[in-house]
Structure 1
Amino acid sequence: MNFSEPGVVTSKVVLISGLSGSGKSVALRALEDAGYFAMDNFPLSFLVFVLQELVARGERQIALTLDVRGGNALNNLPEALHTLRDNGLDVRLLYLEASDQDLIRRFSETRRPHPLALHQHSLAECIALERNLLSGVADLARRFDTTHITPNTLRAWVRDFVDLDPARLTLFFQSFGFKFGIPLDADFVFDLRCIPNPFYDPHLRPLTGQDPAVIKFLENLPIAQRMFTDLQTFVTSWMPDFIKDNRAALTVSLGCTGGQHRSVYFAEKLTRYFSQYQCTRVIHRELDREGGDKRKAVSNPL
């Protein structure tokens, strides 16, 4: 079963899954606005057949959302992904999640029922149940933690995600603040709080790790440079093993107290270093928080 004739451009398919309230509709609309043929709440049991039909009629960019209402059919997702990829499709699976507290807040604000509410569970129980039911999907996907993230930031992340080279491992360096919780999508978490904090300098406090004065402060600290060397060595040493394991992405999360200075500096510096050899992206979670005023997140493609 071939989805396209020899010489025909391969269709790109983005499958969006994740927890209810985590932003799947925002992500789907972002792709639809970018020219993708979009379908919401698609039944997984018809996935292969319908994609074959869509490709045959000439669709080259397709985005579909899959959610927990797919039931037991979600267990067949690994087999469906293999079938689609074996037939030449560029298939990417994106999984969105958020903290329980943030999901509860979003449902309270919209006053919409949770999809599993029909089973007479409380909202917290529905979220826990859904997280468990979708755990197998999350393991297959590129995960994004949308806790406190604005819709505009999520749209930017999704557009960035679909432009990545699926044949190469992408390194994501993510800054965050421990006081806001550890990111759910982290593969590795490193604690930078042992490094002197620029926050306690009144001149540096309103700045971020992207500003020259903060960069100079940290560049002059031997402990900060020793930490950078150790992080660089760790990622360099282990990256080939993740590539051999056919990983498409690796997220290295770097935390300080508030996610404004030290973690931002290290995420930026590591991204600049590894962008010489690898496809890289940088995400500054706290600079992109809802209500924040320091949205300077950048990406550094190879």
Structure 2
Amino acid sequence: MRRNKQEPSIKIISHRGASGHRPEHTLGSYELGARVGGDFIEIDLVATKDHRLVARHEPEIGGTTDVADHPEFADRRTTKVIDGEEHTGWFTEDFTLDELKTLRATERIPAIRPDNTAHDGEYEIPTLEEIIGLAERLTAELGRPIGIYPETKHPEYHVSVGLDLEPPLIEVLRAHGLAGPKPAVPVFLQSFEAESLKKLAETELPLVFLTGTEEHWQRHLTPEGLAEVATFAHAIGPNKDSIIGRDADGNLTEPTTLVDDAHAAGLLVHPYTFRSENHFLPADLRSGDDPTSYGGFAAEYELFFDAGVDGVFSDHSRHAFLAREIYMQEG
């Protein structure tokens, strides 16, 4: 059954910015995502050697910057184990902020988003402070609040290298008036690790527990598990397949009870990640064989809106915004 359409309560979270149109986690991507309809700038935070917080999807930056083209950093290529997985490349914690600022961002998935490569080399790696400044400026310019939605990325790993993410995050938030019950712009804090969220509880900000689809996550998605999550978080950010899955042929199946169960536990639901290209869409919503072409993304959003989600992480904020507008206008 459809929700009351009187208020656009579904939040659009610009996933790594407008990452379907610009290299992810850049000020250009974040600004575009807000200007075309996003309500929140979603940020993955990792630490530098001098303990500054910057935005990258992973500590390893070989796939999202031009670091491999910098001979002065060739000897920093190494192999590390993060959360049980081996990664080879260059890692933010081996660079000072000044060194990282000499690099430029590149498109992470050029085969799927070839147009984004036209912007390779345009943008620096942004700091948390720079992103907050952007959100404040856009809030003033657009006349509507543009919030931030930071994630502590691999917090346990950062603890192991002596660069805990939570203390500098809390410090920066407080310095910008973003902690407490009435932050200057809206804020959600997210993590896949419950312990990280518990460390962030002192901010008095809404906390989002992220979950995946692997077996070890399933206990958190039962009514009993959700009741436990509600003791330390205000929302869940599940993989969207946990809400509407796919069958063996890649077609969408019927919704699960997860949204209703989470709401019953007092939790908001913000699933990830909505993407408009055929490569990512369910088989029954693809527009053809070209993986880079857009398919029936509006129909996918509508199904999740009908399921009752409270927000969506989207690489294509404009598409999410238009789908929400259409949905709100329909009977």
In the superposition, the TM-score normalised over structure 2's length comes to 0.31
Structure label with greater radius of gyration:
1
In the superposition, the TM-score normalised over structure 1's length comes to 0.34
More helix by share: 1
